[in-house]
């Protein structure tokens, strides 16, 4: 059931930078994206077409997409909150869009000030238009494995939402562990419930956060039950928005290391990816939480200090 190769969907330029305090200049974002693409990553979420006032870190969306290569080896994706955002995404020439809503009514209300039903109506329209325009589409469901306000979230709620998103034309649904509450056996149960409910396993992706240290174990579990697409952020870029200083996104290097060492192909060159992570840390000017990233940095420092002391 487990796949011999997996697809990694890189989120650092959008989900990572959105949750960092610093605003990175557009040209440096483009350079980071070029390095990520150069490591072999085939899908990169580069920005968000939300109202620039909401997320100043990503206010340069159109300008950034304009700086990216015309014939990329990766597909570039942008987050889209509504129909206005979709129009901006279409104008930019981006290849794929991602929509989002939460499986938790309280979280959805706090995040976008809409009920789940209201969000779904808007997203269904966005997905329909995006497909007509020939864009690839994915749809994030947040808080699938727990909500910071409500606690447990019934997996049946995620199933109902996923079914509607697929019917509306989403190419894939992404099960998000928004605040890193999920555990491996829960991941196994939730994916099984969705699969039994008619959501094809090859149209599910997973987006884990390492807030409590469970992201890699959750990813391994998801792979063992047949999931083939994994979101991750280079060097673990992007903290947890609810807990300053805490880890957020699963680090891409950690995921690539685990899969490649197990003989599961990712298509990503780990050395090149680690160098991209170094570049990202330089942009932010702070230590980033990825484990392989820290190991790689430590090795480089030791090598450099040996060279000096000789
Ligand atoms: Mg995330």
User: Around Cβ 90, how many Cβ atoms within 10 Å?
Assistant: 17
pTM > 0.85: yes
Look over the chain and give the mean of its residue pLDDT values, rounded to a whole number.
95
In this prediction, residue 299 carries a pLDDT of 85
Based on its alpha-carbon atoms, the radius of gyration of the chain, rounded to whole angstroms, reads 18
In this prediction, residue 211 carries a pLDDT of 93
Q: How far apart are CA 113 and CA 62, in angstroms?
A: 26
Give catalytic residue positions.
240
- Average of per-residue pLDDT across 105-110: 96
Q: Residue 36: inside a domain, yes or no?
A: yes
Output the CA 32–ligand 1 centroid distance in Å.
18
Q: What is the token pair recorded at 128?
A: 């329909």
Q: What is the token pair recorded at 144?
A: 């699938």
Q: How far apart are CA 179 and CA 249, in angstroms?
A: 9
In this prediction, residue 303 carries a pLDDT of 82
Output the CA 308–ligand 1 centroid distance in Å.
39
Output the CA 307–ligand 1 centroid distance in Å.
38
Q: Residue 11: inside a domain, yes or no?
A: yes
In this prediction, residue 274 carries a pLDDT of 98
State the angle between helix axes of 155-167 and 184-196 in degrees (0 to 180), rounded to the nearest 10.
50
Structural domain harbouring 197: 7-309
- Report whether pLDDT(248) > 80: yes
In this prediction, residue 21 carries a pLDDT of 86
Q: What is the CATH number of the domain that holds 132?
A: 3.20.20.70
Q: Residue 298: inside a domain, yes or no?
A: yes
Q: Residue 153: inside a domain, yes or no?
A: yes
Q: Residue 143: inside a domain, yes or no?
A: yes
Output the CA 179–ligand 1 centroid distance in Å.
8
Q: Residue 1: inside a domain, yes or no?
A: no
- Report whether pLDDT(6) > 80: yes
Q: What percent of the chain has pLDDT over 70?
A: 97
72 confidence band (pLDDT: 50, 70, 90): confident
- Average of per-residue pLDDT across 220-245: 90
Task: Tally the domains of the chain.
Answer: 1
Nearest-CA neighbor of 140 among 161, 168, 169? 161
- Report whether pLDDT(310) > 60: no
Output the CA 243–ligand 1 centroid distance in Å.
13
Q: Residue 253: inside a domain, yes or no?
A: yes
Question: Ligand 1 (ion): which residues have CB within 5 A?
Answer: 15, 249
Q: Residue 2: inside a domain, yes or no?
A: no
Output the CA 110–ligand 1 centroid distance in Å.
17
- Report whether pLDDT(301) > 90: no
- Report whether pLDDT(186) > 60: yes
243 confidence band (pLDDT: 50, 70, 90): low
């Amino acid at each position: 059931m487990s796949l011999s190769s997996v697809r990694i969907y890189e989120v650092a330029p959008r989900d990572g930078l959105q949750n960092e305090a610093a605003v990175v200049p557009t040209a440096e974002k483009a350079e980071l994206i070029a390095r990520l693409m150069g490591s072999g990553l085939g899908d990169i979420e580069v920005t968000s077409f939300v109202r620039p006032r909401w997320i100043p870190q990503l206010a340069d969306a159109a300008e950034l997409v304009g700086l990216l290569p015309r014939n990329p080896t990766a597909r570039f994706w942008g987050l889209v909150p509504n129909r206005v955002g979709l129009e901006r995404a279409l104008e930019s020439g981006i290849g794929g869009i991602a929509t989002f809503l939460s499986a938790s009514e309280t979280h959805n209300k706090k995040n976008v000030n809409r009920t789940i039903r209201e969000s779904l109506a808007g997203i269904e329209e966005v997905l329909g238009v995006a497909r007509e325009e020939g864009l690839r589409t994915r749809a994030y469901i947040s808080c699938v494995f727990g909500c910071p306000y409500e606690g447990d979230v019934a997996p049946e709620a995620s199933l109902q939402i996923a079914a509607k998103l697929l019917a509306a034309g989403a190419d894939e649904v992404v099960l998000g562990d928004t605040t890193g509450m999920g555990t491996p056996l829960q991941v196994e149960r939730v994916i099984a419930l969705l699969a039994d409910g008619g959501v094809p396993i090859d149209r599910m992706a997973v987006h884990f956060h390492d807030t409590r240290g469970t992201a890699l174990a959750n990813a391994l579990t998801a792979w063992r039950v047949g999931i083939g697409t994994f979101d991750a952020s280079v060097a673990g870029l992007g903290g947890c928005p609810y807990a300053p200083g805490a880890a957020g996104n699963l680090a891409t290097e950690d995921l690539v290391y685990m899969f490649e060492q197990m003989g599961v192909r990712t298509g990503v060159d780990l050395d090149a990816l680690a160098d991209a992570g170094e570049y990202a840390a330089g942009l932010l000017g702070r230590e980033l939480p990825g484990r392989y990233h820290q190991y790689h940095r430590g090795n480089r420092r030791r090598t450099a200090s040996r060279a000096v002391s000789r």
